[in-house]
Amino acid sequence: ACTECRVYVDVTADATTPDGQRWATAYAALQPAIDAAFEAAAGCEVWVAGGTYRIFQTSIFDTVSLRSGVAIYGGFAGTETQRADRDPEANETILDGEREDAVTAVVHVLTAFNTVDATLDGLTVTHGFAQGPREEDGLGAGLFALGATLVLDNVRFTDNYATRDGGGLYAYGSTLTIRNSEFVDNIS
């Protein structure tokens, strides 16, 4: 379970045994935090410190899988105790699909398959490259949503490329609420 239903993430975290319970023991990667928040309780929040989070680990099919009932908030310095104290502009939180050596990138930076009541807030999603052997691999480089209900607030999709449709975002059979967000230099 997470403290006050929060799980913390900081790309610079180096705790010997990360558990996401506080900033000092934050996860260094986003997916373990999302999974922990999902297991803890519906409505659990993931607080993400500013920095660049590389989604590509071993394969172009690596992705951040959104989970039902989990809200992800970026823009933290890594010391806050209240969500209102975060500053997404000063602490840009980047989910980057490109491999560190820039040779290739993940097919989808984010995926939401039958995910309901999830929130993304205060994040930049970049460098997804939707391509591959299956038809759906060419869709939604930044975010691929299928049968999802999502709220996107203060999210910036930039420099994503899809060989078919939805460079920044592709949603099918989904209900999305998009507020205060930008789509910049995405190509399909």
| Residuewise pLDDT in 10s, the chain (188 residues) | 444 799 999 999 999 999 999 999 999 999 999 999 999 987 899 999 999 999 999 999 999 999 999 999 999 999 999 999 999 999 999 999 999 888 899 999 999 999 999 999 999 999 999 998 898 999 999 999 999 999 999 999 999 999 999 999 999 999 999 999 999 999 99
One DSSP character per residue, 26-53 reads: -BSSHHHHHHHHHHH-TT-EEEEESEEE
- Res 103: pLDDT: 85
Sort residue 114 into left (φ over 0), alpha (ψ -120 to 50) or beta.
Answer: left
pLDDT value, residue 43: 86
* pLDDT computed for residue 41 by the predictor: 81
Q: What is the pLDDT of residue 2?
A: 45
pLDDT of residue 26: 98
pLDDT for position 50: 98
Is 132 in a helix, a strand, or coil? coil
- Report H helices in the chain: 30-40
Identify each DSSP E strand in the chain by its residue range: 6-9, 45-49, 51-54, 64-65, 71-76, 93-96, 110-113, 118-126, 129-130, 143-146, 149-158, 161-162, 169-172, 175-179, 182-184
Rounded Cα–Cα distance for residues 102 and 113 (Å): 27
CB crowding 40-66: b at 16 or more within 10 Å, else e: beeebbbbbbbbebbbbeeebebbbeb
3-state secondary structure of 84: helix
Q: How many C-beta neighbours within 10 Å does residue 93 have?
A: 26
